[in-house]
């Protein structure tokens, strides 16, 4: 250290006053009591307004967010009516299942095939 450095060092300003010590202690203490540095830069009213707005928005959009329950898968039957071999004549001459009195001829030669399918579309009856 040369003479100028020595001269400057000898004229170093005194230590800070007791008032600064107290101010700094108050500053650090205040900062610690404020919650370990947690700061709330947004005003409280803005937080409350944002909460209310999003709450309202949630109520308005909630029905749209809920999807309808899936449609029940129903077992549907497709009835195919196929021509079949002639049926032998019934032993009972009177057939209650036929509107005609004779009961013969209208349903003869047809075979009914019922096929169960899983489909959401409307029921279709197809005749081949």
Q: According to the binding rule CB under 8 A, does residue 69 interact with other proteins?
A: no
**Measured from the CB of residue 47, what is the shortest distance to other proteins in angstroms?**
20
The Cα-based distances of 117 to 15, 18, 29, 67, 70 in angstroms read: 96, 94, 79, 27, 18
User: Tokens 């096929």 correspond to what residue?
Assistant: 115
Q: According to the binding rule CB under 8 A, does residue 4 interact with other proteins?
A: yes
Q: According to the binding rule CB under 8 A, does residue 7 interact with other proteins?
A: yes
Mask of contacts with other proteins, 29-68, x by CB under 8 A?
--xx---xxxx-----------------------------
Q: According to the binding rule CB under 8 A, does residue 22 interact with other proteins?
A: no
- Backbone φ and ψ for 4, nearest 5 degrees, come out as -70, -40
Enumerate the β-bridge partners of residue 118: 75
| Residue 116: its H or E element | strand 110-118
Binding residues (CB under 8 A) for other proteins: these are 2-5, 7-9, 11-17, 19-21, 23-24, 27-28, 31-32, 36-39
């Amino acid at each position: 250290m040369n003479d100028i450095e020595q001269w400057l060092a000898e004229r170093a300003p005194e230590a800070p006053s007791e008032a600064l010590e107290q101010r700094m202690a108050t500053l650090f203490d205040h900062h610690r009591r404020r919650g370990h540095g947690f700061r709330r830069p947004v005003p409280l009213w803005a937080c409350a307004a944002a909460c209310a707005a999003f709450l309202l928005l949630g109520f308005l959009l909630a029905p749209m967010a809920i999807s309808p329950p899936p449609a029940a898968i129903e077992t549907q039957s497709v009835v195919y009516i196929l021509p079949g071999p002639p049926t032998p004549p019934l032993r009972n001459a009177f057939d209650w299942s036929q509107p005609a009195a004779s009961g013969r001829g209208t349903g003869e030669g047809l075979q009914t095939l019922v096929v169960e399918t899983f489909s959401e579309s409307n029921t279709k009856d197809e005749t081949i």
